Amino acid sequence: MKKNNLPLVVTVVLLVCSASVVAARTGSAPNNPSNASAVVTGVVKFEGTVPKPTHIDMSQDPKCAKLHPAGVRYADIVADGNGGLENVVVFVASGLGDRTFDPPTEPAVIEQKGCLYEPHVVAMRANQELEVVNNDVTTHNIHPQPANNREWNKSQPPGLQIEETFAREEISIPVKCNMHPWMRSYIAVFKHPYFAVTGKNGSFDLKGLPPGTYTLKAWHETLGTATQTITIGAAESKQVEFVFKARPSM
Amino acid sequence: MRIRPQILYCSILLISLATGVASAQNAGASSGYPVAQGKLTEPEHRGKGLYRRYCVGCHGVRGDGNGENAPYLDPKPRDFTQATFKCRSTASGSLPLDSDLYATITRGIHASGMPSWNPLPSRDRSDLIAYIKTFSPRFHEEQPGPALPIPAEPPASAESTQRGAAVFQDMNCWSCHGKDGRGNGPSAHTLTDSRGYPITPYDLTTGSRFKCGESDRDLFRDLMTGLDGTPMPSFTDALKPDQLWDVVHYIRSLQTNHGQDGEAAMVGSKTETGK
Ligand SMILES: [Cu+2]
């Protein structure tokens, strides 16, 4: 009996497997999220006292210091009067199944300007081109330190443009300029298009999510990660709020 | 009575099927390491034996750099699971060529615990390389970039050295290596390698004991490729080959004892055979 059934079992298993693979392929969401339906909008809030920005001493490189006659201040936690928290990456962490998405053709851009990174947090897609621009009159080195991607470190004098890519999802890759120890930024790399970085008032939107149940996460460089689950129907709009509390040490 | 042979036949078939599956699974995991994929090839298998004998105390059974001697070493032994290497002929971010790893193992790494394995037969060194590459899936997924070309060295001159000094200034080499190259630039005390351990920029006045070879061509290559996993960046996009040679000449001018140090000169000429 068993002997006769074995080829049958194998065939059935193979058929089911290949059918489900095909189903996953054809079931892909459209690659352009803007013409799909649901929208998740929301805000990320910070609760507690916003720490005072600290002074950055750029005097070791006069070409940097000269750009900031009034001095520069920096804080990892940037929040407005309503507690809207800036520089938080909000993204779909799970729920998209096996869908695959082609990377966009336009590059993501990170600039070095005033011996600081602009923006401070970049979110981009795996295999999307990253354009690194130096708008300063001094030389920088751009040095991402990934855990899950290729590590590279390149000198970038004024005017030189660098193009690079990251192949794998990683949230987030710390980026340093080792010449100017105050320079730091983060690059979040996604294999899907459902992510956003909060702006000045802590707001974000995720457009074009196919109907479904998703784990949403919010990542901040020092406050960590917050998680919630949402279910969204076709053409539905949802409001979401994330709250980060001040670290106990402060 | 009549069913018996059939049962026997079936169970033999089932047993052989089961052992077949089991041995196939074992073959997949036969290396004993979660990262090594599939069955080891003959050279990898030989390399494993050699690795267990010579390298494991520092680089660890899993190749993650956490061997039993690691706590006492500074810099730390390389973590092969990251596949990030200092001494390469390839662009920053690229895997090294086998010939790069071969050269490193043969030479050893100055100013670190990494000994020269020159005494081992060349086949052993090749097999060791085959094995350490199994620690990272990157060696299966990616091709190492091509070796960046090293053009012929123009003659050293006072002008070249002077131009090199200007490039040293413009490229902010001084922010790490210091204005006079002594390794005491304003950022020096903030530097760490990519695993977070403090790292000292090379003191360019000491003359020799470079990590990735002693010759002018080795220095040229260091500047082109950078030392991945450290703050020392790649200058291949930033500078033209002539400018890189100018910097090499400038570095030589900082080495107060270059050319007098018999040992350094000897090692230098030995590694310059690629010319
Ligand atoms: Cu910089």
pTM score, whole prediction: 0.84
Asked if A67 contacts A73 with a C-beta cutoff of 8 angstroms, the reply is no
Residue numbers in A near B16 (CB within 8 A): none
- Nearest chain A residue to B92 by CA: give it: A152
The pLDDT of A10-22, averaged and rounded, is: 39
Give the other-Cβ count within 10 Å of B170's Cβ: 16
B102-153 pLDDT tens trace: 999 999 999 899 999 999 999 999 999 999 999 999 999 899 989 999 999 9
Q: Kindly determine whether residue B233 and residue A141, on different chains, have CB atoms separated by under 8 Å.
A: yes
Give the Cα separation of B25 and B37 in Å (integer). 11
Assigned token pair, B120 = 């081992």
Would you report the helix, strand and coil content of chain A in percent, each value rounded to 5? 15, 45, 45
The pLDDT of B240-247, averaged and rounded, is: 97
Assigned token pair, B184 = 């005491």
> By the CB < 8 Å criterion, does B229 face chain A?
yes
DSSP H stretches of helix in chain B: 4-29, 42-54, 56-59, 98-107, 122-132, 138-141, 158-170, 174-177, 216-225, 241-254, 262-271
The mean-pLDDT minimum among A78-92, B29-43, B203-217 falls in B29-43
Task: Count Cα neighbours of B83 within 13 Å in the Cβ-side half-sphere.
Answer: 23
B200-233 pLDDT tens trace: 999 999 867 899 999 999 999 999 999 999 999 9
Give the Cα separation of A107 and A100 in Å (integer). 19
A113-144 pLDDT tens trace: 999 999 999 999 999 999 999 999 999 999 99
Q: Does the interface predicted TM-score (ipTM) exceed 0.90?
A: no
Set out the domains of chain B in order of their start, with CATH numbers: 5-141 (1.10.760), 158-260 (1.10.760.10)
The pLDDT of B37-47, averaged and rounded, is: 87
> By the CB < 8 Å criterion, does A205 face chain B?
no
Asked if A215 contacts A94 with a C-beta cutoff of 8 angstroms, the reply is yes
Set out the domains of chain A in order of their start, with CATH numbers: 2-245 (2.60.40.420)
**Nearest-CA distance A44 → chain B (Å):** 31
DSSP one-letter string for B124-178: HHHHHHHHHGGG-THHHH-PPPPPPP-PPPPPP-HHHHHHHHHHHHHTTTHHHH-
